[in-house]
Chains A and B, each alone.
Chain A
Amino acid sequence: MALQPAAGAKDLNPQQVETNQFISSLLAETYRLWGYEEVAPPRVERLDTLMACGAISSNDIVKLVASEPLGLRPEMTASIARAACTRLSEKPRPLRLWATGTVFQSRESVEGGLCIEETLQSGVEIFGIKNISAEMELMSLLLKCMQKLSLSKYQNPTLLIGHTLLMDLILSPYENSLRDEIRQSLINYNSLELKQLNLEKDQKERLVLIHQLRGEPKAILEKLEGIFGNQEVIYNLRRLFSIIAPIAEKQGLTIQLDPTFQPQLELYTGIVFQLLCRNDASPVVVARGGRYDHLVRQCGAKEEEAAGLGFSFSIEKLRELFNSANPKLDKPIRTLVVFGEKSSLEKALRRQNELHDLGHQATVELTQCNGRKDATELLALRNCNKLEWLN
């Protein structure tokens, strides 16, 4: 067998790379407009940084053989938070940063071996703001990115939002292992387990009722207020939705508030969200994020600045959606310079140089061609769309 890439790794073809770059540059352009600065976190990190605050389980990290425990980054938030709290600690807050790059995750293959999944991500982080204003900016930026990507037209995007404080309210009457069991049942949507828990009938009915609460934010917040009374988290979420709901509506994006939606990770300490697009089959998570103040505190931030939140887009997932919807990317003019028997390679190279000076893409056909017709036929083969025939 010919040499193959490592299990899980992918060789991208030029068209895939081009789409990746197109998406990345659209996102980068938007982040810059909003005043975010680019950082380039290292691909290799200490394991304790990567696993801080339960950001990821040890099994998911690709570990390196070294004298200290090191791993390849499975996401970029932990590294950026570390940099924000050390090298960039003197910078004024709010600190707005963005990064793009590959991340690596380890998983077990069906045959039992290890696979390394390498994927491209692009995302932003905002540090040092503890109140809802950071969420208001971040979610507005997320919606702007979606608008730039023009996914709303054909991919039914839904922004699914939860909040750890809402979950705390739901779980407040319960303690210890019972609390964990209820939390797991709610997060995993295990309605059967929820009904089989050792609880009083009225408590069970209350949990079942809460478990079914999800949908349009305004209506859900009203129902939550009816159950839990006047709470700060409900007030804050109302402020957030008053900003983002009209923007989302204009873009054709659905916002869904889901009080029992939480990722398994313990990293988050506030708002949590996923942006999903629904293609023919299953929902695809194209972006995810949330608030992670504990992580920033653990990275050594001063108490008054121990706050951070962000999101990251999965470029690969976006590319798949782009391909399935088949939007036409603007193709630049690519000229193929071809010479016949009355011209020469030297002349062709000089002409290519002239075209480059004018800022055009131009490639030289290195062998002589018999006629204009043959030269025209070469265009598709060389991935060019304009002919410069020298003869």
Chain B
Amino acid sequence: MITVALAKGALLKESVKSFAKAGLDFSAVLDPDNRQLMIPSDCGRARALLVRNGDVPVYVAYGQAQLGVVGYDVLREHQMPVAHLVDLAFGGCRMSVAVKSSSGYQRAADLPPHSRVASKFTQCAREFFDDLDLPVELVHLTGSVELGPITGIAEAIVDLVATGRTLRENGLVEIEELFHSTARLVGHPLSLRLDRGHLQTIVEAMRHQNKKNNL
């Protein structure tokens, strides 16, 4: 049986839609009354595991799920050994550095050395500032990161930005983009190598839906 790890939250609806087009119907997970975390597909060939964003690459890396859908930001942050298969082109956002509008900083390199940077994505932030050769002190926060510069806990933040509205309403401004993120189909490398065509059919169907991004 094929097991698919789906991330709860913003990507769930589109993920279900993508799998439906590829022949696996997990629409039961979208039922607001559903409390089950493991849901069989309509056809009975597969089952979906409903997990948190950051847990998708973990289930896939350990091979308990052969496929999964998760944002590129999570993949960059967790660096798990999973195969990146298809750019699904939904859930678009960018990982950016933001500072207080009044700070006067124009780009990340303007930040003084050893500034404090708050982020939920400390691995991505560390890589970015190391590439800039700029030493910073990272403060790990798990949410409402925008409060960092407002309260003075940090001079800058590294966070996901979709429309930029939250930043603006909290008096912050984006000064540099680390990378653009969209949802990705990932897979367990060894299961894919041993696959007798069942997984590949689904991967190809999902690739076909997003031809533009997967040339």
Mark A residues whose CB is within 8 Å of B. 158, 160, 188-193, 195, 214, 256, 258, 261, 276, 278, 281-283, 285
Name the residue on B nearest A190 (C-beta): B84
Residues in chain A near residue B194, CB distance under 8 A: 158, 160, 256, 276, 278, 283
Counting contact residues on chain B (CB < 8 A from A), the size range is 20 to 34
Which one of B109-117, B121-129, B159-167, B182-190 contacts A?
A: B182-190
Knowing A214-B193, A282-B62, A283-B63, the reply to whether A189 touches B187 (Cβ < 8 A) is yes
Name the residue on B nearest A162 (C-beta): B193
Q: Does B139 contact A (CB under 8 A)?
A: no
What are 8 A-B contacts defined by CB distance under 8 Å?
Answer: A160-B193, A188-B81, A189-B83, A214-B193, A256-B194, A281-B63, A282-B191, A283-B194
Q: 9 tightest A-B contacts by CB?
A: A282-B63, A189-B83, A189-B189, A192-B84, A190-B84, A283-B190, A189-B192, A281-B64, A191-B85
Q: Which of A158, A192, A258, A276 contacts B184 (CB 8 A)?
A: A192
User: Do residues B83 and A190 form an inter-chain contact, with CB atoms below 8 A?
Assistant: yes
Interface string of B72-89 (1 = CB under 8 A from A): 000000000101111100
User: Do residues B87 and A192 form an inter-chain contact, with CB atoms below 8 A?
Assistant: yes
**How distant is the Cα of A281 from the Cα of B66 in the complex, in angstroms?**
9
Residues in chain B near residue A281, CB distance under 8 A: 3, 63-64
Residues in chain B near residue A195, CB distance under 8 A: 214-215
Q: Which of A191, A258, A285 contacts B84 (CB 8 A)?
A: A191
Residues in chain A near residue B87, CB distance under 8 A: 192
Mark B residues whose CB is within 8 Å of A. 3, 62-64, 66, 81, 83-87, 184, 187-194, 214-215
Q: Which of B62, B66, B83, B188 contacts A191 (CB 8 A)?
A: B83
CB distance from A258 to the nearest CB of B (A): 6
Name the residue on A nearest B214 (C-beta): A195
**How distant is the Cα of A214 from the Cα of B85 in the complex, in angstroms?**
17
Name the residue on B nearest A201 (C-beta): B215
**How distant is the Cα of A308 from the Cα of B163 in the complex, in angstroms?**
59
Other than A192-B84, A256-B194, A283-B190, give 13 A-B pairs with Cβ distance below 8 A: A158-B194, A189-B187, A189-B189, A189-B193, A191-B83, A191-B85, A192-B87, A192-B214, A276-B194, A281-B3, A282-B188, A282-B190, A282-B191
User: Do residues A188 and B189 form an inter-chain contact, with CB atoms below 8 A?
Assistant: yes
**How distant is the Cα of A190 from the Cα of B86 in the complex, in angstroms?**
9
CB distance from B148 to the nearest CB of A (A): 23
Q: Which of B86, B191, B193 contacts A258 (CB 8 A)?
A: B193
Knowing A190-B83, A282-B62, the reply to whether A276 touches B190 (Cβ < 8 A) is yes
